[in-house]
Structure formats: C-alpha cells, structure tokens
Chains A and B, each alone.
Chain A
Amino acid sequence: MLKLQNLTFEIEGKGKIIDDISFEMPSGKFLVITGPNGGGKSTLARLIMGIERPTSGRIIFNDVDITEKSISERAKMGIGFGFQQPPRFKGMTVRRLLSLAEGKELTEDRCCNYLTQVGLCSKDYLNREADFSLSGGEMKRIEIATLMARELKLAIYDEPEAGIDLWSFKTLVESFKTMSKSRHESVMIISHQERIMQIADDVLMLANGRIRAYGTREEILPTLMGELENCELSPEGSDNKWIS
C-alpha cells in the first residue's frame, strides 16, 4: 500500500533528518512509529503527507508515485494527517471544521458522534470557535475528530497523545481501535506511548533518521522494553519519554 524507496530529507547545515529510508507498509495495518525525540519521526510523517518534500527517494502509494503530488492531491487519494500542534481558526466553529474534513455539511448528530468519541461533551463544542478559547487538549481532541470524520486509506497521526491527560488517554486508545476498523483502512501513529503500541500490528523504530527496527508488535516490543531497562527515563512528563 505505502512504499518508501531510499527516502532522504536533508536540511542545509543540519544534515540528514531522514537518511535513505526504505520500507513497505501493507494495507490494513496499524503501524506505530516510535523512537527518541529528534529521530525523524514527525519529519517522516510530514514527508508522506507532502508537507515536506524529500531531497531524494520516492513515495509510492497504492502503486502510484506520489512524490511530486501536492498535499491536497494526496488528501484526495485518501491520506489524512493529524497535526502534533493543530492550528486554530478564528471565526470557524468546530462543526464547520469537521464538515470541511468530511467534505460535506455534517448533521448535528454526526458531529456529536465524532466529538463524543474523542471524549468531548459534544453539545458544548459544536458551535464553539476552534480558536484560542479552547485549551491545547481540547484542540488536540478536535484534531483527532477531524480525522475520524474522513474515510481514509491511510490516517497518519503525529503524536496524538501529546497534550492529552492520562485519564482521557485510555478512552482515546479505544477510539483509535474502533476507528481503524471502521473509517480508516490503515493507520500510522507516531507515538511514545506503550498503550498505543499495545494495539499496533507493527512497530517501526526510528533513530537518527534511520530504521533501527521494524516488525510485528510481538517481535519489536520485547526488544524495545529491553533497551528501555538500560535507558534512563526523563522525570518530566510523557512528552520526554519515548515509552511510558
């Protein structure tokens, strides 16, 4: 379904953020990409969506070379993207934003359904503006709801857990499970959270722009856990851990 061939992304003065990566993600999979901060995870996700353009290499999606295609062309082919820090829109209601995501005016019931799935009390949010009056956590959930509103062949989430409290996180993980079954053919999640990895089919570990390990959850997780035991965890919030 998705093939990356010798993908490289280089920034002048900073070197190779993504360094000659090749891998294939089969259709229908739930893939978690993990690894230390600065390892290139978000960049890789942005390259697949077309937000960044690679220095070299190809991206093949359902047998079509999409390397030169724009973001909106990729979106129309069925790729969606959840931002790590979603932008806010002055004057735009949550309902309008979700309607734009789905591509048609949404009924109140449908909107509420998406919002409930991300743990928001829907009626309170429908007509609220998706602006700075919402907290980071609320905005992040709405961002996830915008992906739920779309039927996608590949849904990419860039650290969906960032900014969401641990209490709500469990419900959200449940939502990812349901969603990947009903709305999204394949799911790629950039995450540090073990709980998300536990629902993955496959896990890919990225460090220094290269693939350190890629395989099924059963194969990869024990290795990662082993590495963790030798790794000092940051005492700060989950943002700074790459597994918690």
Chain B
Amino acid sequence: MDQLTKTILEQVADLHDIPQGAYNIRQDGQSAGRRSTENIIIQPKKDKPGIDILIKPNTKNESVHIPVVVTQSGLTDLVYNHFEVGENADVLIVAGCGVHNDGSKASRHDGIHTFHIGKNAKLRYVEKHYGQGEGSGERILNPTTVIEMEEGAYCEMEMVQIKGVDSTKRETSAKLKAGAKLIMIEKLMTHGRQEAVSNMDIELNGPDSVTQIISRSVAKEDSIQIFHPKAIGNERCRAHVQCDSIIMDRAKISSIPEIAANHPEAEIVHEAAIGRINNDQLLKLQTFGLTAEEAESVIVEGFLS
C-alpha cells in the first residue's frame, strides 16, 4: 500500500493499516485486498462490478471495512455493493471513498449500495467522502443508497462529506417495516465552486416504524447545496426531519424537506433552518482568546461534529 493510498484510507475510514475483521479495499476499479471472516462473507459479484457482503444471522460486535480509493485521473468507477445483514445481527460497516486527482480529467466514483437488514438486526453504517489533489480535473462522487428494513430492524447511517469533492449527487431511499427504526445523519461541507445535491425518500410502511433524518451542512465561498429529504408515513409511525445549514460568503443553499402522511396516526415533523454564523457566537469565542477566523472554524467544526 503506497503512502497516498494510506493517507486517503486514513481520511475516509480512519484506517492506519489493514483493518481487523472483514474488509474489502477497492483501488482504481480493482480489488486491492479482501478478507472474509467466519460470519461475514465478502464475495465479488459475477454479473457486474462490486461485491456482496453477507452477514450471518446473530453475528455480534463485528465490523466490515469497505473503503474505495480513486487515484487515476479520468477514471470512472461504477460499483454495485449489496449488504445482507442477517436476523439479530449487530454490526458496524465502515465505507467511504477518497478521490485523489492530480490530472486534468474528471475522476468519478458512483457507488450503488443496497441494504437488506433482517428482522431485529442492528446496523451502524459510516460513510465518509473526501477529495484531494492539485489537478484541475473534477472529483465526482455520486452515491445511491437503497435500504430495506425488516420488522424491528435498527439502522443508523452517518454520511459525511467534508472536503474536496467537486460535485456530488446523493440518492437515498428506504422502506421500513413494522417497528423498524432508521436514523440518517448527513453532514456536508462544500467550498469553492462545489455542488452537492441530496435527495432522500424514506417510506414508513409498517406500524410503529420510526425515522429521524438529521442533515447538517456548511456552504462556503461560491458553493451550492440542494437538499430534498422526504418522509412518507403510510402507517402509524413517527418521522422527524431536521435540516440545518450554515451559509457563508456567496454560497447558495436550498432546503426542501417534504413530509407526507397517508395514515391518520402518522406523526411527521420537519424543521429547516439556514443562517449565518451568529455574531454573538463569534464574540463569545473571541473572549476566550480565539481570533475571529479561529472562532469561525471552531463553530463550523462543532456544527459538523
């Protein structure tokens, strides 16, 4: 593993070396390492690029790392990954994609992820997107995430894009059965002339299903962000959608939370706020001895933490 790959793996998956447990590292469209364990089987797909990750029922306290690294300028990498989380399993999946582009052509990774989360299974999924490199070529990441949750399943997804991705279009959809709970946390920071679009469609189809969508973003300089989270209650359910953005410089943000109830006992709430950093926050931190610039970065870091 070269230094560049190591740096990117550290950024997207907090990995300093080959991870413990099951893993699959994909670099420039090829597999750069893979390990299955007794309970977690990772196998390549036969009909298209990508892998199937099969987590056996009752697997507890295990993790899977599946980072992707793109270092070739001009590469378009399309990958289909399927995650089958068995009944009563309790696992952590760390995904993430880092693009290093030193060239003049666009580098792009489109990850299409499907999840089937079995009855009463518990999944924590963390995905970080990151871009770097001095080239003029764009760094593009377009993830699609499709989630199906069985009765009593629990899933917490944290999707973070902090730096260096020029363009991103996220499509996320989920269908929840009875008693399933989905927490979606999206954190995004854009700068320069970056553009980010995030669409989410969460359908609450089973009684007592619950979802919480939390989106926090910071748009700096000339960047543009568009959020469109949608929660649809088709049964007795609860949903809470919260979009919170800090806008800076000449950036533009559209936040369009949408809620729909198709059942009289669906309780669905949305909140959306876009605003500048509050002047009193800056003043308060300056009274600790921070400069205005330091105060600003502490506020942004806290907001996205």
Which positions in A face B, CB cutoff 8 Å?
A: 49, 51, 70-72, 75-76, 79-81, 83, 85-92, 96, 100-101, 103, 146, 150
- Given A76-B289, A87-B278, A103-B289, A71-B283 contact (CB < 8 Å): yes
- Nearest-neighbor residue (CB-CB) of B284 within chain A: A87
Shortest distance in angstroms between A141's beta carbon and chain B's nearest beta carbon? 15
Contacts of B304 in A (CB 8 A): 91
Q: Are B285 and A91 in contact (CB under 8 A)?
A: no
- Nearest-neighbor residue (CB-CB) of B298 within chain A: A100
Contacts of B17 in A (CB 8 A): none
Q: Are A71 and B281 in contact (CB under 8 A)?
A: no
Shortest distance in angstroms between A52's beta carbon and chain B's nearest beta carbon? 10
Shortest distance in angstroms between A215's beta carbon and chain B's nearest beta carbon? 29
Shortest distance in angstroms between A33's beta carbon and chain B's nearest beta carbon? 18
Q: Are A150 and B299 in contact (CB under 8 A)?
A: no
- Nearest-neighbor residue (CB-CB) of B289 within chain A: A75
Contacts of B287 in A (CB 8 A): 49, 71-72, 75, 79-81
Q: Is B77 an interface residue (CB 8 A)?
A: no
Report the separation of the CA atoms of residues A19 and B289 in the bound assembly, to the nearest whole angstrom.
29
Report the separation of the CA atoms of residues A86 and B288 in the bound assembly, to the nearest whole angstrom.
13
Q: Is B291 an interface residue (CB 8 A)?
A: yes
- Given A51-B283, A100-B298, A90-B244 contact (CB < 8 Å): yes
Contacts of B290 in A (CB 8 A): 72, 100
Q: Are B291 and A72 in contact (CB under 8 A)?
A: yes
List B residues 260-305 near A (Cβ within 8 Å): 278, 280-281, 283-292, 298-299, 302-305
Q: Are B289 and A86 in contact (CB under 8 A)?
A: no
List B residues 148-185 near A (Cβ within 8 Å): none
Shortest distance in angstroms between B180's beta carbon and chain A's nearest beta carbon? 26
Cβ-neighbour of A70 out of B244, B284, B286, B298 (below 8 A): B286
Q: Are B216 and A150 in contact (CB under 8 A)?
A: no
Report the separation of the CA atoms of residues A70 and B288 in the bound assembly, to the nearest whole angstrom.
12
Q: What are 21 residue pairs bridging A and B, where the CB atoms are less than 8 Å apart in the complex?
A: A49-B287, A51-B283, A70-B286, A72-B286, A75-B286, A75-B287, A79-B287, A81-B287, A86-B284, A87-B281, A87-B284, A89-B299, A89-B302, A89-B303, A90-B244, A91-B305, A92-B299, A92-B303, A92-B305, A100-B298, A101-B288
Q: Are B216 and A75 in contact (CB under 8 A)?
A: no
Shortest distance in angstroms between B212's beta carbon and chain A's nearest beta carbon? 15
Contacts of A146 in B (CB 8 A): 288
Contacts of B289 in A (CB 8 A): 72, 75-76, 103
Interface centre among A70, A75, A76, A146 (most CB of B within 10 A): A75
Q: Are A90 and B302 in contact (CB under 8 A)?
A: yes
Report the separation of the CA atoms of residues A53 and B210 in the bound assembly, to the nearest whole angstrom.
52
Contacts of A70 in B (CB 8 A): 286, 291
- Nearest-neighbor residue (CB-CB) of A150 within chain B: B288
Report the separation of the CA atoms of residues A150 and B299 in the bound assembly, to the nearest whole angstrom.
20
Q: Are B302 and A75 in contact (CB under 8 A)?
A: no
Cβ-neighbour of A83 out of B280, B288, B298, B299 (below 8 A): B280
Shortest distance in angstroms between B39's beta carbon and chain A's nearest beta carbon? 32
Shortest distance in angstroms between B284's beta carbon and chain A's nearest beta carbon? 5
Contacts of B303 in A (CB 8 A): 89-92
Contacts of B298 in A (CB 8 A): 92, 100
Besides A81-B287, A91-B302, A96-B302, 12 other A-B contacts (C-beta < 8 A): A70-B286, A71-B287, A75-B287, A85-B280, A87-B280, A89-B281, A89-B299, A90-B244, A91-B216, A92-B303, A100-B288, A146-B288
